[in-house]
Amino acid sequence: MESSPLSTFKQYETDSYLFESTGKVLQVNQLDSGKYEVIVDRTIFHPQGGGQPNDEGVIKSDDAEFTVEDIKLNGDYISHIGVFSEQGQTFEQDQEVSQVINEELRRKYARTHSAGHLIDMAMDKVGFGHLEPGKGYHFPKGAYVEYIGVVEADKRDQLKQDLNAAIKDIIDNMREEDSSVAKVHSYEEAKEVLGCIPPYLPEGKNVRIVKLCEDDKGCPCGGTHVKHIKDIEGIEVSKIQKKKKNTRVSYSVVDC
């Protein structure tokens, strides 16, 4: 295909509950592996990143179906990598195609990711807000959030109990009208909202800030999230342990 400006609008950043959409094909490239790369002008497919797994699903036209096996963010565009259902199938440049992601997985990923943010709120509520969140792993199996600093061994069991109680209290008492908000700000606006910008974010670039509710301080995040805290349903903090100079809070999302 002929080259065209490669820029993909990330629809998942504006609506995590958008499970079907359309897009215009920018490029289709065959890779050395024999698989194909499909690039469209807008996508609902979230790439793996920020501790969250990538979506699964298909891109299709009237005469071709493409199974998305991997998703990569490449600067301003997103690569959908996978295979066509039959040999010889392809998409044409500027062709309108439909996108369908696995709704069950997307909802699970959004719940698990938002649960990590809710644990941040609960840490603050139980008196450990001075520990700054570090990395997070938001896969359904083995999910955790790490905080910079160590909680003493003799306080970890009590912290686990307090966190589980605080999480339940936040979910149970959240107002129905208090929905989550994901908004893209300019760098300067984000600095005003957050007070300071994490050093890993490039200066001058727009920053997407997610707030689960009015009381949430918010944080920069490119992942998918629930529309309301009650959609998380329940969280169980299962273990708190020391990881080098950090404290790891392991958790799972549970159905109520």
Query: What are 204-237's pLDDT values in tens digits?
Result: 889 999 999 999 999 999 999 999 999 999 999 9
Is 2 within the bounds of a domain?
no
The token pair that represents 245 in the structure block: 């100079």
- Tell me, what CATH number does 72's domain have? 2.40.30.130
The token pair that represents 99 in the structure block: 């996108």
pTM over 0.85: yes
Q: Is 182 exposed, middle or buried (0-12, 13-18, 19+ CB in 10 A)?
A: buried
- The 10s digit of each residue's pLDDT in 127-149 is 999 999 999 999 999 999 999 99
The whole-number pLDDT of residue 202 equals 87
Confidence of residue 61 (pLDDT cuts 50, 70, 90): very high
| Same domain for 158 and 94 | no
- Tell me, what CATH number does 216's domain have? 3.30.980.10
As a whole number of angstroms, the distance between CA 107 and CA 109 comes to 5
| Same domain for 79 and 29 | yes
Interior CA angle at 179 toward 177 and 181, to 5°? 145
| Same domain for 122 and 91 | no
The whole-number pLDDT of residue 197 equals 86
- Whether the per-residue pLDDT at 3 is higher than 60: the answer is no
The token pair that represents 127 in the structure block: 């008196």
Confidence of residue 14 (pLDDT cuts 50, 70, 90): very high
Contact 199, 27 (CB under 8 A): no
The whole-number pLDDT of residue 256 equals 63
The whole-number pLDDT of residue 200 equals 83
Is 87 within the bounds of a domain?
yes
Residue range 21-49: mean pLDDT, rounded: 97
| Same domain for 143 and 93 | no
Task: Characterize the bridge pairing of strands 9-10 and 42-43.
Answer: parallel
Is 1 within the bounds of a domain?
no
| Same domain for 54 and 146 | no
Altogether, the residues listed in the chain come to a count of 256
| Same domain for 177 and 56 | no
- Whether the per-residue pLDDT at 4 is higher than 80: the answer is no
What is the number of domains present in the chain? 2
Is 91 within the bounds of a domain?
yes
| Same domain for 225 and 137 | yes
The whole-number pLDDT of residue 199 equals 83
| Same domain for 169 and 222 | yes
Q: Which H/E stretch holds residue 187?
A: helix 187-194
Count of H helices and E strands in the chain?
3, 15
Q: Which H/E stretch holds residue 121?
A: helix 103-125
| Same domain for 96 and 180 | no
- Whether the per-residue pLDDT at 103 is higher than 90: the answer is yes
Residues paired with residue 36 on neighbouring β-strands, in sequence order: 30, 82
| Same domain for 241 and 125 | yes
Of 126 and 205, which is predicted with more confidence? Answer: 126
Domain carrying residue 197: 106-254
Is 61 within the bounds of a domain?
yes
